[in-house]
Structure 1
Amino acid sequence: MKIRKCYRGGVVVSLFLAFVCLNANAQNEKNEDTQLPSPIEGIPLSQTLPVCYVNTENGAAIVSKEEYLNAEIWIDPMGVEGVEAFGSKETPITTEIRGRGNSSWTGFGKKPYKIKLNKKGTPFGFPKSKHFALLAHAPTQAYFAGETAYQLARLIGLGWVPRSFPVEVVLNGINIGVYAFSESVRIDDGRVEIDEQPENNTDQATIPYGWLVEIDNSVDTPQILVPQTLDNNPNAYTSRFTIKTPEVMSQEQETWITDQLTTLTHQILSPDKNNAAWTDMIDIEMLAKYYIVQELSGNYDAFVGSTYFYKGSGDKWIFGPIWDSEWTFASYDRTGHIWEERVALTGVDKVNFTWVKELIKFPAFKNEVRRVWNDFYTGQFSNIYTFVDDFYNLTREGYEMNDKIWPDYISNGIHNTYNNLKTCLPKYAAWFDDMVKSGEFSAIEDIESANDAVPSVWYTIQGHRLDSRPAVPGVYIERTSTSSRKVLIRP
């Protein structure tokens, strides 16, 4: 499979490769002669990145996503500042390794891997854990764009963001290019720090917390299917919610989580957008931060797949952590929301963006997005440019070697990716800033007195109905028989 770089309508189609690989598995099943590329052997290390050595027992090939192989691993810092050795050739770390991913596993010769250390360790100074991943980022080769989205999440304060570090991987003596040595999404110390929901739990007092859920676009298990409709419309989209924790559910757990996801769906699909009842179930500030990062990076997979949210002992679901941001920064110019631009790019309009297209219609949500964005844009956002420069300088020589190892993937290239990010980041931010300041998105009318001649129903900005016109100054929603508006009531 030869992937060529081309341009169409100002869109860098090489960054659209994530969409191409979605159908790779089906195509391979139909065409038995399809051969995925193998790495070109004999390409030297760049010696500018840490090297992760992995040797499987008896040199066995890693061919399964379900069955682990025994292996040894060690990381040579190669003199990179701030990186310490993790094991050594003489004293390697014992581990297990298997494949991971969906289309990234089936569609490319450069494979991602799941690592399970035999005992907890701290590679790259990450919090102690057994569970890590080697992410291939084969469609675009560079995980530069995705890691930039992760850094935006860190800067905006989106809770725990998976840590990673670029490495060159030598698997059974063969240099297989640049990977991200990464934390994986899981409930754990230093990651999603909540008490874990036990498997097969039947205790009604503890069932409501300790959950990690993914909005998914792949068949998985356990998985809850929720039609995105308020009625029994047989043509409605059905969203897939994969339950990451717990992995085995009792009937009581399945009933509870199905009710939660169905209730949220119905509240978000409600035609009464002034009644944001879902804010009693979802942390609106964290959802606003999550949404901003996805729009700001142009992540066409957000709210389609790899979209996580979790619930600890508190009352509300929290969106995050961010994950799998490969399909980002694909357009030079932004002209619409991520769901609009994905359709324009692919020509496929049968993609289920779960909840987000309805959420953006709620005045309560739009107001929170505007508030969070204003603080972020005038504060931490500018720090992203230093990160982009530093990451480019760290990885560019490694990726030059990587492209020699995988010449069948004519990727966008590390240099083009760097230039694209430097161009896109300010453009995307300016587009988003204009959008949240537009009258359609954030119009607020400034009044000092009410017009008692027009009967009104008043709500807080979170959507809670009030008994009368509020006396406390602030932003509210006023609804009449003919219209709704956001209102700033002054002292």
Structure 2
Amino acid sequence: MKNIFLYALLLAAFAGCKKSDVNKGGSTSPVIRGDTTVRLFLSAENNKDIPDSVSSELKITGDSVNFNIPGISTNRSFVLSFLPADANLKVNGVKQQSGVTVNDFTEPVIYTYTDPNGKVKSIKVSITNFTGLPILFLTTSAPVVSEDDYVTGNLSINTNGQFEPFAANAGLNIKGRGNSTWGLPKKPYHIKFDNKQAVLGLSAAKNWVLLANYYDKSLLRNAVADDIGHLVGADFTPHYRFVEVVMNGVYQGSYTLTEEVEIEPGRVDINKLSTIDNDNSDIGGGYLVELNQRLDADYYFHTSSGLPFTIKDPNDITDQQLAYIHNYMQQTEDAIFADNFADPVNGYAKYINVDSFIDWYLVKELMKDVDAVDYNSIFYYKDLNGKLGMGPVWDFDVSAGDPDLDPTGWWVRNGKWFSRLFQDPAFVQRVRQRWQSVQASLPLILTNIDKNAAYLNLSQEQNFKVWNILNTYAWPSPEVFGSYQGEVYYLKSWLKTRMDWMTANL
């Protein structure tokens, strides 16, 4: 049987081979443990496009092994060869034939080896493509050239064995998204499925966002902010997945897939208004509004202080509902600036969920998000029979030291509402107590940056081959760090300094 002996996994009958036991030069000499071993290889029968470089991508962890095939592919069926060829290997009880038996590697496959002495060893074998991240294959009926006009298409996903298989060719509509980010070379996208889809382990929904992270050379800031949001407990913080995007056969780069900001179960999970909900008993929620200086929405209003709010949900808001939420936001602002604003019964606390405001504030202040001072992507929600809350946290392309913001000094509390709230000693004390309650867990954020950066290492290499900006100045980066590792180090060191400063000054 003609095989490409790309790399050997040595499975011992009596003990598993450690990483140090494997000869990375590609030798086929077995490591002897007792008197029986078996070796697995990717077979030539798979396809002739598998390059020799696969050998350098083998990863072994305990009783699992990963063969990584660098090319972008949707193929998940592979043949393994093994030596000795008559070794007793089974998959789900089915005897395997070396170089013949085909298995579906959409998910990892468990091989069971029984040695001549009757001892049994199991190992999980996975085969990944490209960078190992899930690969989204988008096919569209026409080029996506607009933020406003959808193009029909479909999506298939090579999950690379990390998540449940995704239904092939799911129908969808796709358009561009973002404000300044849509004008950048690497485009962000909004996907709307024909039917709700659970994607990569996230709750089923129609609407999804692909963040391009072109501004952010670490590719991590939005993910870091979401991690902080979950740690702090900020309301309705989105979940994310790192993915590769291929559109119409062309690799687009490394993206962050995340949930749309919308009123939906598992997202902003509050009551959803319909056009008939106009009576006093049901008009009170739910609403999702954005403080948005661009006013790029069909419905909007200003408060008396000049703050602009757009309606995110409901999309088809009635005149009565618009009047209600406008009035509620104005009452809230009036209470914040009233002489008795600190009164726990009749002051601002009558209208806002104070804990929700504080959690949102801490995430945005820690990241020193540029847009968070009364500009845009500042979301508020109001549920039926509930007070005004803040969330979800969103949009961190320009944050955490990009642009060159000093990691010291207050930022978000300079906004109109927050500057007033911080004049209340009771509010300041609650912020201090909340920070102290999460302070011990904050180093986990820095640890997670390292983990995610390692996970993205092959992905960032491919991304910056397409978008070659690591060694060039690109706003808002304060300087050129010259490498992906340099970008990650800057992000970590900036955040560490920021955490320490906030701890000292709260």
Residue equivalent to 1:307: 378
Displacement, 1:113?
1.0
Residue equivalent to 2:226: 150
Displacement, 1:433?
1.2
8 Å CA contact 2:235, 2:390 repeated in 1: no
Residue equivalent to 1:334: 407
Residue equivalent to 1:30: none
Q: Among residues 128, 138, 143, which one is paired with 1:54 in the alignment?
A: 138
Displacement, 1:393?
0.6
8 Å CA contact 1:145, 1:417 repeated in 2: no
Please state if 1:395 is matched with 2:395.
no
**Paired amino acid for 2:376:** G
Cα distance in 1, alignment partners of residues 439 and 180 from structure 2: 35
Residue equivalent to 1:98: 175
Superposition pairs of residues 42-81 of structure 1, within 5 angstroms: 46-57=130-141, 60-79=142-161
Residue equivalent to 2:391: 320
Q: Among residues 341, 366, 391, which one is paired with 1:296 in the alignment?
A: 366
Cα distance in 1, alignment partners of residues 298 and 498 from structure 2: 37
Q: Among residues 85, 94, 117, which one is paired with 2:165 in the alignment?
A: 85
Residue equivalent to 1:458: none
Q: Among residues 415, 434, 450, which one is paired with 2:485 in the alignment?
A: 415
Cα distance in 2, alignment partners of residues 250 and 77 from structure 1: 42
SS at match of 2:257: strand
Distance 1:363 1:103, change over 3 A: same
Cα distance in 2, alignment partners of residues 262 and 224 from structure 1: 13
SS at match of 1:289: helix
Q: Among residues 187, 210, 213, which one is paired with 1:111 in the alignment?
A: 187
Residue equivalent to 2:46: none
Please state if 1:261 is matched with 2:329.
yes
Please state if 1:381 is matched with 2:442.
yes
**Paired amino acid for 1:288:** I
Distance 1:435 1:264, change over 3 A: same
Provide Cα deviations, 1:313-367, integer angstroms capped at 9, x if missing partner: 2331111111111112115743311259xxxxxxxxxxx9342222222223211
**Paired amino acid for 2:391:** G
Cα distance in 1, alignment partners of residues 237 and 456 from structure 2: 20
**More helix per residue:** 1
8 Å CA contact 1:201, 1:249 repeated in 2: no
SS at match of 1:415: helix
**Paired amino acid for 1:367:** Q
Superposition pairs of residues 32-43 of structure 1, within 5 angstroms: none
8 Å CA contact 1:146, 1:327 repeated in 2: no
Cα distance in 2, alignment partners of residues 273 and 426 from structure 1: 35
SS at match of 1:385: helix
Distance 1:120 1:251, change over 3 A: closer
Cα distance in 2, alignment partners of residues 128 and 98 from structure 1: 20
Cα distance in 2, alignment partners of residues 399 and 414 from structure 1: 7
SS at match of 2:427: helix
8 Å CA contact 2:335, 2:341 repeated in 1: no
**Paired amino acid for 2:316:** V
Provide Cα deviations, 1:260-306, integer angstroms capped at 9, x if missing partner: 11122222233555446111111111111111111111111114211
Provide Cα deviations, 1:366-414, integer angstroms capped at 9, x if missing partner: 1110111111113x22321221111111112211221121125745653
TM-score normalised according to structure 1 size: 0.70
Cα distance in 2, alignment partners of residues 44 and 239 from structure 1: 50
Provide Cα deviations, 1:242-263, integer angstroms capped at 9, x if missing partner: 1111122322212211111112
Displacement, 1:141?
4.3
Cα distance in 1, alignment partners of residues 447 and 192 from structure 2: 33
Displacement, 1:52?
0.7
Cα distance in 1, alignment partners of residues 501 and 339 from structure 2: 28
Cα distance in 2, alignment partners of residues 318 and 382 from structure 1: 27
**More strand per residue:** 2
Displacement, 1:66?
2.4
For the aligned residue pairs, the C-alpha RMSD in angstroms reads 2.3
Cα distance in 1, alignment partners of residues 341 and 382 from structure 2: 24
8 Å CA contact 1:44, 1:175 repeated in 2: no
Cα distance in 1, alignment partners of residues 193 and 301 from structure 2: 34
Cα distance in 2, alignment partners of residues 390 and 335 from structure 1: 26
Residue equivalent to 1:233: none
8 Å CA contact 1:44, 1:401 repeated in 2: no
Structure 1: stretches of 5+ with no match in the other structure: 1-42, 230-237, 341-351, 437-491
Cα distance in 2, alignment partners of residues 287 and 44 from structure 1: 47
SS at match of 1:122: strand
Cα distance in 1, alignment partners of residues 202 and 226 from structure 2: 16
Displacement, 1:180?
1.0
**Paired amino acid for 1:337:** W
Cα distance in 2, alignment partners of residues 175 and 224 from structure 1: 38
Greater gyration radius: 2
Asked which structure has the greater RCO (Cα within 8 Å, sep 6+), the reply is: 1
**Paired amino acid for 1:402:** N
Q: Percent identity?
A: 28
Q: How many pairs were matched up?
A: 366
Q: Among residues 182, 185, 189, which one is paired with 2:258 in the alignment?
A: 182
